[in-house]
Structure 1
Amino acid sequence: MRVPLSWLAEFVDLAPGTTADDVHAALVKVGLEEEEVHGFDLTGPIVVGEVLEFVEEPQANGKTIRWCQVRVAPDGQQAADGGDAVHGIVCGAGNFFVGDKVVVTLPGSVLPGPFPIAPRKTYGHVSDGMIASVRELGIGDDHDGILRLSTLGLDPEVGTDAIELLGLADEAVEINVTPDRGYAFSIRGVAREYSHATGAAFRDPAAHGQLTPTANEGFPVAFADDAPIHGRPGVSVFSTRVVRGIDPTRPTPPWMVSRLKLAGIRSISLPVDITNYVMLELGQPTHGYDLDKLSGGITVRRAAPGEKITTLDAQERALHTEDLLITDDSGAIGLAGVMGGASTEISDSTRNVLVEAANFDPVTVARSARRHKLPSEAAKRFERGVDPQIAAAATSRVAQLLVDLAGGTADDAGSLTGEASGATAILLPAGYVSGLIGVDYTNEEIRGSLAEVGGVIAETEGGLLVTPPSWRPDVTDKSDLAEEVARIVGYERIPSILPVAPAGHGLTREQRIRRTVADALAAAGSTEIIAFPFLPKALNDLYGAAQSAEVAQIKVANALDASAPYLRTTLLPGLIEAAKRNLSRGLTDVALYELGLVFTPEQGAVYGQATLPSAVQRPSAEQLAELNAGIPPQPRHVAALVVGNVVRKQPGQSAVPAGISDALAIVAQIGLATGADIEIVQGRHKAMHPGRTAELRVAGQHVGFAGELLPQIAADADLPRVVAVVELDLDAVIALAEPVVEATEIGTFPAATQDLTLLVAESVPAAAVLAAVREGAGELLEELHLVDDYRGAGLEEGQKSLTFALRFRAADRTLTAAEASEAKLAGAARAAELVGAATRE
């Protein structure tokens, strides 16, 4: 909201010498946010001049160039710039005549831009100044010709200061109005706040010069809202006044043009400027209809199915049945609270005007404005709440200005339909304000503050009953009253004391493990990313499940990107997209990881059907369970991707490209961080390379996969042929891991080592053989790992030779070679029994 200082001073006393910065500082004290200071950025001397004569410049080659003699000071006096009373000026406009009064910017003046004015030689003359247009003065957009003061109804004396004459010495303070303080979208509201901040006398513009319309006289109005939203009628008050015999072609006076310009609204025509002016002054939007274009009385109702309206911007709009309309016998003539209709628009031929001011439901107006993409100044105020008591004052103020400025005659009576409902009294318990704010306010301070903001106060048992003023629909609770006391008495009274933080319970086991996993992956050289959580359906199907053609997915109703409307079921597409972007920027060796939620709905399940509980109190356990049942499972996954070289080429060292071994190394890091024993077995996945894919299990349950992408999929993503990836359900891994990892004792007796070579069928996984040997070798086995996998000459077709290294140790003695060999052979026997292994000599 921009507030011209001269306008503000009409309704609240500004001390002499008060600057825009002073006003900003005062408004900040009562909670309004400071923004900018706006002005016309003009520096004099800029004066009224009279065109004495001009000649067309013959050198102009077809352009309009005039060499003018302009009187800029009365006879016998010096001009404001110290020069002669008559200046020679070259002008490129052709819309003025001898005898016209114009605005002359003399040498030494500065126009917005900044554009300094100085004598300038052109077309063989020295142009001693410039005759200004509306746009050059910063008061409009017209640049077709210079400003003739007679078109504004002005005939000032030559040499008059044009800056003061046109109201261009004024400036405006801009404040940011938060959604709960819609009353500050008016000069009336800001003047009241300035009065609260400084104690200056406030004069309510809504309390002076208004005629009181009656319900039974004037223009007929009816309400027919048969579909209120949330039980609230679309309109509560509707006031009208009729003004006859206006001249809409009269110019808008300069003081009004300059104030509107400073407030951020351009001048359009006198009737429209008046309605905008009153809206800014009182905060009550108003609208004018060409009375002679109306058919019958006005009815306020909801739109019918399929109904349309052409608004003032010449756009035909299909209406929704929630839209509230202003209608007459011909149909819709306005979209209530948003924009008027073109059929009753005021034009240059209008002579009789119906002025309307109403109080519309904020929710209805807000929805219509967004539905039709019409964020008008009126809608901006209605959706925040307008004072329901000033509709009649606003129509009377518009009627007064139409009489004074447009030459009209106002009918004695108007109409006032409906009645504003009174605000509900709020109980303010004794001691509540001081307890909430932390300041010992006296009873006099509390009562005085609430009375100052317009509250009506009554004593009651245990406290006060406070009825908020009509212009404060945001005050609905005792905490709002406490806030009013705090800001009126002064925020500086509130001490700056940091509260003592209560002792926390620390991180949960799951939180600690997740942080450990992230730290471990980052320490190993990977970079964490946060990817977009929406995907195309095809990518969810490709990466979201190992074998099935499709996975259950959730489609977002209002997707930000129509090409990716589904919630992700996997983290891999985000990693692949990030890797692709990094490679395109020259980063050829990339290791990325992400910890994030995925969405895994059950096939055919319907979500979002739970009833929302009241916000008055904390929901019960049953209500929370119902809410949780209304959302899909959202497990937290961890995924990683490695592409390029894991060891770069350097002297004496060849490059080592990424592959499945690096994916398995990441799995090992996650296993160490979580304390889970992650089993790696041969697996399959439709997006992964066959033979280079591992299924990951914990306690026999599937928790994820690791391996290399199919080369064709990697190529489609503009990635190298080998891309190592891992994805695990981290929540499942943590749940299945042992909650406590027990440290083993360090053996003090020497170990005995043995090797064991077994022949098995190629189809038998090495992990199955290893597990069988471990089971058979017994308690003395301390460590077992695969050291060789041989297939080729010397073996029968379909066989492979697996060599294992075994280490045995006893806690209470030194093992003999015979004991170690016995344990080894027991392991071999168990492998023979379970997987058909034979010992190779």
Structure 2
Amino acid sequence: MRVPLSWLREYVDLPAGVTGRDVQAKLISAGLEVETVDQLGAGVKGPLVVGRVLTIEELEGFKKPIRFCTVDVGDANGTGEPQEIVCGARNFAVGDLVVVILPGGVLPGDFQIAARKTYGHVSHGMICSARELGMGDDHEGIIVLQPGPEPGSDAIELLELVDEVLDIAVTPDRGYCLSIRGVAREAAIAYGVPLRDPALLDVPAHNGDGYPVTLADPAGCDRFTARTVTGIDPEAASPIWLQRRLQKVGMRPISLTVDVTNYVMIELGQPLHAYDRSRLSGPIVVRRARAGEKLTTLDGAERTLDPEDLVITDDSGPVGLAGVMGGAGTEIADGGSTDVVIEAAHFAPIPIARTSRRHKLGSEASRRFERGTDPLATSAAAQRTVDLLVLLAGGTAGPGVTEIAAPVAPTAITMRADHPDKVAGTAYGRETVVRRLQEIGCDVTGSDELTVTVPSWRPDLNYVNDLAEEVIRLEGYENLPSTLPKPPAGRGLTGNQLLRRRVGRALAGAGYVEAPSYPFVSAGTFDQLGLDADDARRRTVRLANPLDDTEPSLRTTLLPGLLATLRRNVGRGAHDVALFETGLVFLPRAERLLPPRLPVDRRPTAEEIAALEAALPEQPRRVGVVLAGARELAGWWGGAQPASWADAIEAARTVARETGVALTVRAGQYAPFHPGRCAVLLAGEQVVGHAGELHPRVSKAFGVPERTAAMEVDLDLLAAAGGERATGPRVSTFPVATQDVALVVDAAVPAADVEAALRAGAGELLESVRLFDIFTGPQIGEGRKSLAYALRFRAPDRTLTAEEASAARDAAIASAASHTDATLRGA
């Protein structure tokens, strides 16, 4: 919404010396988004005067038409003699009044004017177009003024070239500010001065003699005012002041009747429409469209109407899309409309918004109606339009007045006087609250319990918090005290939040970089992962309104996002990459439930929250990693150590250690991993994840390096298995006793089983077990392997003797022999 400061001053007595920047600051403080203040005419410098064309000589022999003119500019040139000017425009004739800038003047863009020889003549100045003066984009011809001003009079003042225009981004809840009236009200409150409301007009009552109107859909249109004006001079043109005001707000002058309706709309915020009375047949009816009806709108497009569209009709059918755009069949014809019917109606916001979007037809009228207009302003807007047409077009106001209105009770809200204080966390007091609400037009009664009747132009005020917001914004958001919330003692991060932080720090310390990704996937993603057709991960939660139609589902695994990030980084030259992500996956429930509609006036009950959670998909939290390239870079110390499936398993152990869980690792087969290089990760007997090397086809499908390794574990399951928070290692002052054993087992026996047996047999003196060597060869037999372990023994209260350490070692070996058929190598 563009608001000229000169227009604003008509309704608000702003203090002397106040600039557009000052008004901008005040309105921003009151909550309006004033984006810019345009300085119109800032680069214009006179002499810029009115001139009368005396003679025109057509110059021949040039590629384009050129005219040599003499123009009477009065005494503005200091001599009183006609001014000689060369001009290429052809839309003026001898006797016309034009705008002339004389040598020494400056036009916008620092275009300095001087006498110069051109086309064989000396041009002493220039005859100006609207674009050259910064009045608009029209450059088809120069400005031809209406009779009245004398040659030599100041054109800067006549054309109101110097002004300041506020450009306001009006939010959907502040539709009343899409008018000079609404912004003037805000400015009057901000400066504490009275408002001269342009809608306070004496209007005649309904008398039954006006143009007949029927409201067939009172829910869509609850108020309709119709007035007629006859005897309009079809040759009458809009005066300069009217044209300039429309240009300053960004509208193009069209014809006097149309310009007047646009002017009143901008002034009062009430859209209007003028019908050529001679083209109307029968009474006006407001109803819903019928299936198959068509209407050609003013933009020339034929539109097939929807049964939900609200339309204006006569006996011939639809003549306009209500609140959006009129029809071409009843438009005001140039030079031919002498009798007009003025429509000023109040339409419900929702039908207008839906019609505008359905037909992709936005207009200044629909923009206002869909935000809510003042239903009580229709009579004043119609009267203001009639008055201007009588004044400017020589018309006669018809005696008949049509005013149809469905009874609508004003909105009344009950609020405690101290409610804004509680919302803002400061003390305003009852007097301030009542004063601020009265300033915006509310009627306030009561003492501690206030009854607030909302003004008709504020349909956005419906709840007590809406009223509290009005008080707070007018008192100034910048005046609110800055207070930090005081949480109850003993509260802080939850256990799960602390766990996620520990896991993130642990993986970052191990060399991984966190790379969050969007949780959206496509069906083709699961094909790239090589999942079977019946794999549970293919069952997804599909979004009703996805951000990207190619990825309409929520992820069931973290790996696609991590692999896409890996591909992007490798493609940009990063060859050694280790990434991790902690995030939710979304698993659909077997039974689909509709979520309950939660209340907004109170906290939901435990049962309501439980019902809501039951309708949501399961959302376990997972941790995933991917790594490719070198784990250790090459250098003088030796060659590079490539990342492998073992590093992915170690990443899982790193995560598990933060939960206090010792993982058991077994060989397995699980897409998208290589069938021979895949590990199943268990916490006790519970499978919590998988790790390993990606299948070559998966690496190729995702465009990541060969032998890329990955891991994904369920952090919620690990946290549940871990129980209490993991504690730091205990440091003992007693020495450790280390015993190495090499056990020969069948090649199919997992090393994890051998380790578990050693732990079970060694007893409580065992501190740790570490596999440090695997050997296969003819020395130990076909189908056999040797596993070498380092066993560390320590007592918490004494130094172990050699006999105690040996006994624990022998017990461990016996347990391994019993559970895995292991034999001591070399025995």
User: How high is the TM-score relative to the length of structure 1?
Assistant: 0.90
Does structure 1 conserve the Cα–Cα contact (< 8 Å) formed by 2:559 and 2:624? yes
Does structure 2 conserve the Cα–Cα contact (< 8 Å) formed by 1:389 and 1:420? no
Query: How far does residue 237 in structure 1 lie from its aligned partner after superposition?
Result: 0.8
Q: Aligned in 2, Cα 1:112/1:634: closer, same or farther, shift over 3 Å?
A: farther
Looking at structure 2, the residues matched to 176 and 325 of structure 1 have their Cα atoms a distance apart, in angstroms, of 29
Looking at structure 1, the residues matched to 791 and 418 of structure 2 have their Cα atoms a distance apart, in angstroms, of 78
Q: Aligned in 2, Cα 1:56/1:573: closer, same or farther, shift over 3 Å?
A: same
Query: How far does residue 626 in structure 1 lie from its aligned partner after superposition?
Result: 0.7
Secondary structure of the 1:137 match is coil
Q: Aligned in 2, Cα 1:54/1:451: closer, same or farther, shift over 3 Å?
A: same
Alignment coverage as a number of residue pairs = 821
Looking at structure 2, the residues matched to 444 and 777 of structure 1 have their Cα atoms a distance apart, in angstroms, of 82
Does structure 2 conserve the Cα–Cα contact (< 8 Å) formed by 1:664 and 1:707? yes
1:22 aligned to 2:22?
A: yes
Does structure 2 conserve the Cα–Cα contact (< 8 Å) formed by 1:438 and 1:494? no
Does structure 2 conserve the Cα–Cα contact (< 8 Å) formed by 1:43 and 1:111? yes
1:179 aligned to 2:165?
A: no
1:113 to 109, 122, 134: 109
Match of 2:214 in 1: 222
Unpaired runs of 5+ residues, structure 1, are: 227-232
1:140 aligned partner, one-letter code: G
Alignment of 1:229-628 (within 5 A): 233-247=219-233, 250-305=236-291, 307-348=293-334, 349-419=336-406, 421-432=408-419, 445-459=432-446, 462-485=448-471, 490-491=475-476, 496=481, 498-499=483-484, 501-504=486-489, 505-540=491-526, 543=529, 548-549=534-535, 551-603=538-590, 605-607=591-593, 609-628=594-613
Query: How far does residue 318 in structure 1 lie from its aligned partner after superposition?
Result: 4.5
1:336 aligned partner, one-letter code: A
Looking at structure 2, the residues matched to 807 and 493 of structure 1 have their Cα atoms a distance apart, in angstroms, of 66
1:192 aligned to 2:185?
A: yes
2:183 aligned partner, one-letter code: V
Looking at structure 2, the residues matched to 140 and 721 of structure 1 have their Cα atoms a distance apart, in angstroms, of 63
Looking at structure 2, the residues matched to 526 and 21 of structure 1 have their Cα atoms a distance apart, in angstroms, of 52
Identity rate, percent: 48
Root mean square deviation of aligned Cα: 2.9
Query: How far does residue 632 in structure 1 lie from its aligned partner after superposition?
Result: 0.5
Query: How far does residue 743 in structure 1 lie from its aligned partner after superposition?
Result: 5.7
Looking at structure 1, the residues matched to 598 and 292 of structure 2 have their Cα atoms a distance apart, in angstroms, of 36
Match of 1:229 in 2: none
Does structure 1 conserve the Cα–Cα contact (< 8 Å) formed by 2:816 and 2:822? yes
1:98 to 78, 82, 94: 94
Deviations 1:123-181 (A, max 9, x none): 344433221122222333322222222xxx33421112112222223332233333332
Query: How far does residue 438 in structure 1 lie from its aligned partner after superposition?
Result: 5.9
Looking at structure 1, the residues matched to 533 and 664 of structure 2 have their Cα atoms a distance apart, in angstroms, of 20
2:756 aligned partner, one-letter code: A
2:161 aligned partner, one-letter code: L
Match of 2:150 in 1: 157
Q: Aligned in 2, Cα 1:492/1:328: closer, same or farther, shift over 3 Å?
A: closer
1:12 aligned to 2:32?
A: no
Deviations 1:331-385 (A, max 9, x none): 3333322222333333324343222111111222233333333332222222222
Looking at structure 1, the residues matched to 646 and 430 of structure 2 have their Cα atoms a distance apart, in angstroms, of 76
1:193 aligned partner, one-letter code: E
Looking at structure 2, the residues matched to 26 and 133 of structure 1 have their Cα atoms a distance apart, in angstroms, of 36
Does structure 1 conserve the Cα–Cα contact (< 8 Å) formed by 2:528 and 2:698? no
Deviations 1:603-659 (A, max 9, x none): 5x325x122122111111111111111111112222222222233333443233322
Query: How far does residue 774 in structure 1 lie from its aligned partner after superposition?
Result: 2.1
Looking at structure 2, the residues matched to 687 and 47 of structure 1 have their Cα atoms a distance apart, in angstroms, of 82
Looking at structure 1, the residues matched to 786 and 533 of structure 2 have their Cα atoms a distance apart, in angstroms, of 31
Match of 2:67 in 1: 66
Alignment of 1:720-739 (within 5 A): 720-739=705-724
Alignment of 1:595-674 (within 5 A): 595-603=582-590, 605-607=591-593, 609-674=594-659
Q: Aligned in 2, Cα 1:791/1:21: closer, same or farther, shift over 3 Å?
A: same
Does structure 1 conserve the Cα–Cα contact (< 8 Å) formed by 2:759 and 2:766? yes
Match of 2:37 in 1: 37
Does structure 2 conserve the Cα–Cα contact (< 8 Å) formed by 1:610 and 1:627? yes
Query: How far does residue 92 in structure 1 lie from its aligned partner after superposition?
Result: 2.2
Question: Which range is displaced more, 750-759 or 274-283?
Answer: 750-759
Does structure 1 conserve the Cα–Cα contact (< 8 Å) formed by 2:116 and 2:124? yes
Deviations 1:723-763 (A, max 9, x none): 22222222222222131435665455554433333333322
1:139 aligned to 2:129?
A: no
Does structure 1 conserve the Cα–Cα contact (< 8 Å) formed by 2:116 and 2:123? yes
Does structure 2 conserve the Cα–Cα contact (< 8 Å) formed by 1:242 and 1:352? yes
Q: Aligned in 2, Cα 1:634/1:290: closer, same or farther, shift over 3 Å?
A: farther
Does structure 1 conserve the Cα–Cα contact (< 8 Å) formed by 2:595 and 2:611? yes
Question: Which range is displaced more, 290-299 or 180-189?
Answer: 290-299
Looking at structure 2, the residues matched to 253 and 805 of structure 1 have their Cα atoms a distance apart, in angstroms, of 101
Looking at structure 2, the residues matched to 440 and 540 of structure 1 have their Cα atoms a distance apart, in angstroms, of 59
Looking at structure 1, the residues matched to 729 and 314 of structure 2 have their Cα atoms a distance apart, in angstroms, of 90
Does structure 1 conserve the Cα–Cα contact (< 8 Å) formed by 2:29 and 2:478? no
Looking at structure 1, the residues matched to 194 and 727 of structure 2 have their Cα atoms a distance apart, in angstroms, of 78
Q: Aligned in 2, Cα 1:31/1:789: closer, same or farther, shift over 3 Å?
A: closer
2:718 aligned partner, one-letter code: V
Match of 1:683 in 2: 668
Looking at structure 2, the residues matched to 523 and 277 of structure 1 have their Cα atoms a distance apart, in angstroms, of 68
Looking at structure 2, the residues matched to 813 and 519 of structure 1 have their Cα atoms a distance apart, in angstroms, of 36
Does structure 1 conserve the Cα–Cα contact (< 8 Å) formed by 2:209 and 2:399? no
Q: Aligned in 2, Cα 1:558/1:109: closer, same or farther, shift over 3 Å?
A: farther
Query: How far does residue 310 in structure 1 lie from its aligned partner after superposition?
Result: 3.5
Question: Which range is displaced more, 307-316 or 198-207?
Answer: 307-316
Alignment of 1:680-759 (within 5 A): 680-741=665-726, 746-747=731-732, 749-759=734-744
Looking at structure 2, the residues matched to 432 and 95 of structure 1 have their Cα atoms a distance apart, in angstroms, of 65
Query: How far does residue 485 in structure 1 lie from its aligned partner after superposition?
Result: 4.6
Secondary structure of the 1:410 match is strand
Secondary structure of the 1:69 match is strand
Question: Which range is displaced more, 205-214 or 612-621?
Answer: 205-214
Query: How far does residue 200 in structure 1 lie from its aligned partner after superposition?
Result: 2.9
Deviations 1:800-840 (A, max 9, x none): 22222223344566555555444444333333333333443
Looking at structure 2, the residues matched to 120 and 729 of structure 1 have their Cα atoms a distance apart, in angstroms, of 83
Looking at structure 1, the residues matched to 732 and 16 of structure 2 have their Cα atoms a distance apart, in angstroms, of 92
Q: Aligned in 2, Cα 1:825/1:385: closer, same or farther, shift over 3 Å?
A: same
2:223 aligned partner, one-letter code: V
Unpaired runs of 5+ residues, structure 2, are: none
Q: Aligned in 2, Cα 1:682/1:319: closer, same or farther, shift over 3 Å?
A: farther
Q: Aligned in 2, Cα 1:793/1:154: closer, same or farther, shift over 3 Å?
A: farther
User: How high is the TM-score relative to the length of structure 2?
Assistant: 0.92
Does structure 1 conserve the Cα–Cα contact (< 8 Å) formed by 2:102 and 2:114? yes
Q: Aligned in 2, Cα 1:335/1:704: closer, same or farther, shift over 3 Å?
A: farther
Does structure 1 conserve the Cα–Cα contact (< 8 Å) formed by 2:743 and 2:823? yes
Question: Which range is displaced more, 366-375 or 436-445?
Answer: 436-445
2:151 aligned partner, one-letter code: V
Does structure 2 conserve the Cα–Cα contact (< 8 Å) formed by 1:59 and 1:123? no
Looking at structure 2, the residues matched to 85 and 654 of structure 1 have their Cα atoms a distance apart, in angstroms, of 96
Query: How far does residue 442 in structure 1 lie from its aligned partner after superposition?
Result: 6.2
Query: How far does residue 483 in structure 1 lie from its aligned partner after superposition?
Result: 4.5
Deviations 1:225-258 (A, max 9, x none): 39xxxxxx22211111122343556432221121
Does structure 1 conserve the Cα–Cα contact (< 8 Å) formed by 2:228 and 2:342? yes
Query: How far does residue 536 in structure 1 lie from its aligned partner after superposition?
Result: 0.6
Q: Aligned in 2, Cα 1:492/1:681: closer, same or farther, shift over 3 Å?
A: closer
